[in-house]
């Protein structure tokens, strides 16, 4: 009973959602469909009348006008039915587009607001989100059309059955009875299809993954250079074959069962025609019109009965899809940004015995880490891959929460003042965005209120080296860049990185700059220029630089050395070199890069 109540709850929510998405005109058309549901009955009835007039015309020429009038009405009904069907299809297509747009917006908003571990480390969440995008959302949002379709089908069923009962009740009983196997099969197929879509997602995702690799512009050079097409193609075919084999097994079974059901229905339809012929033979006064009525109405009754029963079960069987859709939308979210949330005047960051591990991992990414960073400090974070550097930054940004210990800004837990903290920071991540937009917007997106401040934009760009890109473009700051620009010419990796650095430093109210591998794509000269202008670029802002290149240590006054989730060394360059520890070994390995 609880399950039924839950299903009913999701069905009601889905109907409410559908009404919200549909346009008023589309709802009106759906309601008019209830009246149009009588058209099949009227067509069958008028066809009988026309046939009788046509048959009688041979003996009574005076029936000509009545025959023509009956034919005109029949044509009008056919046209009305055809036109209304086209109108319904048009609005159905519009509703489908609206539904897809709504679902896409909902899932994009979800991706932008759920706690970050769901996106990066929760495989089940990502698979469920894909499922909702492909199937569940549309099933949920399309429920009103299904309900209206069912009600219209009921009207058609009653009206057509009423006509056939006049000929023989056995005709209706036989037609309805032979639709039941098809309905049962349809229900079983829906259950199998749901299972297929939820349990076979892995093979489908891997098939798409290898297909996307072959299409991706980012991997094209490597694939071409190493001649990897055949290797990736083999991988793709292997997963595609698994998926297709399972799909074909289900499809073949459905085809066999549906063929049997159709043969049964068609066999009964022929039996109905024979029964009608016998009725006419027994009672000649019924005329050929009855036979035409039965031919038309019997076919309609079979179709509408099947659809009626299938739609009735679909409304409840689709509750599984609706549950998936609404459940994932109820995933916990981060607090929404508030425009009234002013940044801190100063930022002091404190990690107190922080332990953190990624979901599904047994090892600690941060292990009992404690450190304090005061306003205005210039800090370099160095260490091997996997030592905890990026995790440290992710916790400062509030993208993750520690399993134990605390991360605070000015004594307050970061997650309690999430957007106040984020407005106090500016960051360039290791994998930064490349917006297909103007140079101006690529920089000013970090502080849109100052997008029209050309003087500041150009001054900062000159210090970061981004002015070389700007000055080379005909429209300067207003030049569109990226693969989708009018020229279609993309920027180089180093040019994009200069733009990204400028974007991070353009956020005027930020009190802390975090730069994750800010010079990874820059050539040595461009990197040296960044370091030369470092003091002017960062001013009195706290600056946290993460890099494998130890050249940054010449422009900071404090170095944190990470190893296995811990800070194993903390000091300035001279002190750490004198200690001869991990930092000294790392610097010695790179010394030839920085010694003339």
Beta strand segments in 250-385, E: 349-356, 366-373, 378-383
Comparing C-alpha atoms, which of 145, 115, 127, 177 is closest to residue 400?
115
3-state secondary structure 24-80: HHHHHHHHHHHHHCCHHHHHHHHHHHHHHHHHHHCCCHHHHHHHHHHHHHHHHHHHH
Tell me, yes or no, whether 342 lies in a domain.
Answer: no
Q: Which of 478, 510, 542 is the last residue before a domain boundary?
A: 510
Residues 411 and 442 reside in one and the same domain: no
What global pTM score does this model have? Answer: 0.70
Residues 393 and 310 reside in one and the same domain: no
Tell me, yes or no, whether 335 lies in a domain.
Answer: no
Q: How distant, in Å, are the alpha carbons of 371, 381, 388, 430 from that of 363?
A: 21, 21, 11, 23
Predicted confidence (pLDDT) per residue in 74-131, tens digit: 899 999 999 999 998 898 888 878 887 888 888 888 888 888 877 776 777 877 787 7
Residues 108 and 183 reside in one and the same domain: yes
> Residue 406 forms beta bridges with which residues?
352
Tell me, yes or no, whether 192 lies in a domain.
Answer: yes
Residues 43 and 149 reside in one and the same domain: yes
**DSSP strand pairing (566-571 vs 558-563):** antiparallel
In which domain, by residue range, is 480 found? Answer: 433-510
As a whole number of angstroms, the distance between CA 576 and CA 438 comes to 44
Contact status, residue 398 vs residue 422, Cβ threshold 8 Å: yes
The angle that helices 24-36 and 143-167 make with each other, rounded to 10 degrees, is: 10
Q: Which of 486, 510, 534 is the last residue before a domain boundary?
A: 510
Tell me, yes or no, whether 339 lies in a domain.
Answer: no
Beta strand segments in 469-555, E: 512-516, 542-546
Residues 463 and 373 reside in one and the same domain: no
| Vertex 451: Cα angle to 446 and 457 (nearest 5) | 85
As a whole number of angstroms, the distance between CA 483 and CA 488 comes to 5
Q: Which of 329, 358, 376 is the last residue before a domain boundary?
A: 329
Q: Which two tokens mark 86?
A: 């086209």
What is the DSSP annotation of 108-170?
HHHHHHS-HHHHHH-HHHHHHHHHIIIIIHHHHHTHHHHHHHHHHHHHHHHHHHHHHHHH-HH
Residues 134 and 122 reside in one and the same domain: yes
Q: Residues 8-44, buried b or exposed e (16+ Cβ, 10 A)?
A: eebbebbbebbeebbeeebbebbeebeebbbbbbbbb
Residues 504 and 518 reside in one and the same domain: no
Judged by DSSP in three states, 569 sits in strand
Tell me, yes or no, whether 340 lies in a domain.
Answer: no
The reported pLDDT for the residue numbered 280 is 62
Tell me, yes or no, whether 44 lies in a domain.
Answer: yes
Tell me, yes or no, whether 338 lies in a domain.
Answer: no
Q: Which two tokens mark 453?
A: 């401040």
Residues 376 and 455 reside in one and the same domain: no
Residues 442 and 322 reside in one and the same domain: no
As a whole number of angstroms, the distance between CA 308 and CA 478 comes to 58
The tally of domains found in the chain comes to 3
Tell me, yes or no, whether 334 lies in a domain.
Answer: no
We report the CATH number of the domain holding residue 107 as 1.20.1560.10
Predicted confidence (pLDDT) per residue in 297-356, tens digit: 878 887 888 778 777 777 776 777 777 888 888 888 887 776 667 889 899 999 999 999
Give the Cβ contact number of residue 558 at 10 Å.
Answer: 18
We report the CATH number of the domain holding residue 397 as 3.40.50.300
Alpha helices in 330-403 (DSSP H): 389-396
As a whole number of angstroms, the distance between CA 347 and CA 456 comes to 24
Residues 409 and 521 reside in one and the same domain: yes
DSSP letter at 433 equals -
Which residue numbers in the chain have pLDDT < 50?
1, 596
The reported pLDDT for the residue numbered 596 is 46
Residues 379 and 417 reside in one and the same domain: yes
Residues 55 and 45 reside in one and the same domain: yes
Site of tokens 């000013």: 444
Contact status, residue 354 vs residue 369, Cβ threshold 8 Å: yes
């Amino acid at each position: 009973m609880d399950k039924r109540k839950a299903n009913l709850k999701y069905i009601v929510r889905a109907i409410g959602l559908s009404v919200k998405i549909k346009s008023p005109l589309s709802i009106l058309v759906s309601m008019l469909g209830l009246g149009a549901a009588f058209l099949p009955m009227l067509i069958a009835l008028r066809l009988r009348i026309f046939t009788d007039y046509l048959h009688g015309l041979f003996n009574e020429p005076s029936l000509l006008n009545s025959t023509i009038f009956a034919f005109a009405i029949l044509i009008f009904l056919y046209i009305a039915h055809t036109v209304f069907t086209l109108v319904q299809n048009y609005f159905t297509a519009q509703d489908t587009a609206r539904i897809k747009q709504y679902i896409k917006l909902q899932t994009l908003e979800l991706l932008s607001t759920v706690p970050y571990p769901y996106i990066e480390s929760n495989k089940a969440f990502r698979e469920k989100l894909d499922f909702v995008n492909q199937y569940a959302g549309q099933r949920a949002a399309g429920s009103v059309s299904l309900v209206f379709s069912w009600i219209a089908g009921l009207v058609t069923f009653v009206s057509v059955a009423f006509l056939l009962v006049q000929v023989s009740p056995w005709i209706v009983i036989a037609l309805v009875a032979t639709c039941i196997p098809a309905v049962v099969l349809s229900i079983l197929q829906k259950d199998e299809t749901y299972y297929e879509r939820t349990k076979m997602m892995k093979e489908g995702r891997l098939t798409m993954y290898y297909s996307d690799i072959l299409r991706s512009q980012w991997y094209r050079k490597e694939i071409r250079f190493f001649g990897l097409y055949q290797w990736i193609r083999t991988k793709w075919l292997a997963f595609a074959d698994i998926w297709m084999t399972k799909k074909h097994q289900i499809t073949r079974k459905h085809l066999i069962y549906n063929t049997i059901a159709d043969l049964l229905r068609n066999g009964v339809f022929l039996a109905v025609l024979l029964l009608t012929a016998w009725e006419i033979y027994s009672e000649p006064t019924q005329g050929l019109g009855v036979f035409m009525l039965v031919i038309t109405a019997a076919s309609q009754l079979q179709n509408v009965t099947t659809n009626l029963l299938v739609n009735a079960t679909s409304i409840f069987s689709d509750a599984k899809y609706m549950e998936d859709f609404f459940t994932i939308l109820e995933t916990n979210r981060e607090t929404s940004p508030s425009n009234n949330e002013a940044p801190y005047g100063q930022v002091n960051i404190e990690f107190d015995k922080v332990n953190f591990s990624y979901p599904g991992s047994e090892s600690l990414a941060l292990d009992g880490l404690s450190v304090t960073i005061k306003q205005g400090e210039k800090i370099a974070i160095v260490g091997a891959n996997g030592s905890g550097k990026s995790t440290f930054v992710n916790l400062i940004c509030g993208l993750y929460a520690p399993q134990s210990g605390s991360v605070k800004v000015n004594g307050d837990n970061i997650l309690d003042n999430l957007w106040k903290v984020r407005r106090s920071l500016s960051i360039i991540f290791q994998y930064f965005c490349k917006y297909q937009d103007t140079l101006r917007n690529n920089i000013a997106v970090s502080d849109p209120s100052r997008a029209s401040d050309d003087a500041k934009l150009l001054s900062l760009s000159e210090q970061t080296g981004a002015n070389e890109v700007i000055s080379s473009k005909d429209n300067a700051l207003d030049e569109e860049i990226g693969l989708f620009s009018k020229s279609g010419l993309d920027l180089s990796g180093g040019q994009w990185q200069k733009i990204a650095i400028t974007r991070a430093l353009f956020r005027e109210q930020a009190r802390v700059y975090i730069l994750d591998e800010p010079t990874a794509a820059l050539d040595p000269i461009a990197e040296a220029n960044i370091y030369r202008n470092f003091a002017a670029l960062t001013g009195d802002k706290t600056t946290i630089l993460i890099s494998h290149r130890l050249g940054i240590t010449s422009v900071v006054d404090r170095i944190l050395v990470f190893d296995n989730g811990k800070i194993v060394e903390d000091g300035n360059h001279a002190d750490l070199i004198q200690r001869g520890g991990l930092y000294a070994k790392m610097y010695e390995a790179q010394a030839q890069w920085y010694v003339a």
